[in-house]
Amino acid sequence: MATFSSNYNLYGDLSWRVMETLRILVGEENVEVYSVDEAFLNLNEFANGNLEEAGLRIRETVELWTGIKVSVGVAPTKVLSKVANHLAKKNKIATDCVVVLDTKEKIATALQDTPIGEVWGVGRQYAKKLIEMNAVFTAFDLTKKTEEWAHKNLGGVVGIRLLKELKGEPAIDMKDELTVKKMIATTRMFGSPVRNINEIKEAVATYTSKAAEKLRRQQSAANIISVFVVPREQSHTAHFRHGPTISSYVTLPVATSSTHELIKPAVKLVDKLFEKGRLYKKAGVMLSGLVPDATIQGNLFAAEADNNKRLLMSMIDNVNFAMRNDIIKFAASGTTRDWKMRQELRSPRYTSRWDEIREVK
């Protein structure tokens, strides 16, 4: 057994490689990236072919090209494909990590083997509710319910879609990859609990800088900035746990993507959220109310230098991208950053750092 620290650079790069491999195999228009380690593929071109063979080819190619082992679930709908994928992971040896549900009999058997709590879209609370009602224990039980029942007990239209998908009727469409986000967030756990307000301000300023970089990357500007902190509380059993998330936000007078114009209100929000004497485990920044940056007009009455802030931000982004490690940073982000996440056990970033590339002897 081995313990490793988080390695976001490596995770992100390998995720990109896997998704690019899938795009090459089935076409970019047939891939919906769902999360960092999951995607939906449209296999309509294989409808008259051998789906099991196609699934195996996808699995083997991804592993060969990227070194990442994946499981593949194939079915008529998204929800059923999630069921198939779950079974592929659960029975890796028997299924060779590929499960295809292409007949009514296979679908029925798979649903009978799937507890209701493991169905995509149900969640713990709904699963608990359905079991306590003595109404539904497996995914198969749910398929016996009517649409009216699903509407009443599973969240309205969402429940009806879920029921249809389990019955093999496509109700959740493939979505294009969201290239322009509607909200941008940066959040991290502290390396150790923090009780000093200045350290929290440094962290929030740093996270704001990261979020602003993402904002400029998609050429957007933000109207609203939100900040949250998560305290660490001690229960009566002497075990520590996370306290409730405490958050606040401010609407900016003018939408902006400039880091310094976002840091100032973010740091002020920390004064509003901080409570002396408490330990804090985590903080985060969210930018919302996003609009295209090109729509923001310069101020006729402002100094010329103030209207050149986009050029300044672009120069800082280019230097930081080339040199890495935030070589240029705002003073509000601090210099020592004692609050920063500890990564003493981080594995090397083999695929994105020349000085950490794997050596073969």
Q: Residue 270: which CATH number? A: 3.30.1490.100
In this prediction, residues 147-166 reach a mean pLDDT of 91
Instruction: Give a yes or no: residue 323 inside a domain.
Output: yes
pLDDT of 132 reads 87
In this prediction, residues 192-207 reach a mean pLDDT of 92
- Residue written as tokens 């047939």? 30
pLDDT band at residue 9 using 50, 70 and 90 as cut-offs: confident
In this prediction, residues 166-170 reach a mean pLDDT of 92
Neighbours of 38 (CB within 10 A): 14
In this prediction, residues 113-126 reach a mean pLDDT of 89
Q: Which amino acid is at 265?
A: P
Instruction: Give a yes or no: residue 76 inside a domain.
Output: no
Mean pLDDT, the chain, as a whole number? 87
In this prediction, residues 177-195 reach a mean pLDDT of 83
pLDDT of 301 reads 55
- Report the number of distinct structural domains present in the chain: 1
In this prediction, residues 331-349 reach a mean pLDDT of 77
> Is pLDDT at 82 greater than 60 in this prediction?
yes
Instruction: Give a yes or no: residue 319 inside a domain.
Output: yes
Instruction: Give a yes or no: residue 88 inside a domain.
Output: no
In this prediction, residues 334-361 reach a mean pLDDT of 77
Instruction: Give a yes or no: residue 290 inside a domain.
Output: yes
pLDDT in tens, 14-31: 999 999 999 999 998 899
pLDDT of 197 reads 93
Q: What percent of the chain has pLDDT over 90?
A: 55
In this prediction, residues 68-90 reach a mean pLDDT of 95
How do strand 72-74 and strand 98-100 relate by DSSP bridges?
Answer: parallel
> Is pLDDT at 238 greater than 60 in this prediction?
no
pLDDT of 98 reads 96
Instruction: Tell me the β-bridge partners of 107.
Output: none
Instruction: Give a yes or no: residue 262 inside a domain.
Output: yes
Kindly report which listed range (65-74, 162-171, 177-186, 283-292) carries the lowest average pLDDT score: 177-186
Residue 171 CB partners (closer than 8 Å, separation 6+): 77, 160, 161, 162, 164, 165
Within 13 Å of residue 225, how many CA atoms lie on the same side as its CB?
33
pLDDT of 114 reads 94
- At 354, list the tokens: 């020349």
pLDDT band at residue 89 using 50, 70 and 90 as cut-offs: very high
Instruction: Give a yes or no: residue 221 inside a domain.
Output: yes
Pairwise CA distance, residues 330 & 192, whole Å: 23
Instruction: Give a yes or no: residue 250 inside a domain.
Output: yes
- At 254, list the tokens: 């003018």
What is the extent of the structural domain holding 309?
184-333
pLDDT band at residue 2 using 50, 70 and 90 as cut-offs: confident
> Is pLDDT at 178 greater than 60 in this prediction?
no
In this prediction, residues 209-224 reach a mean pLDDT of 92
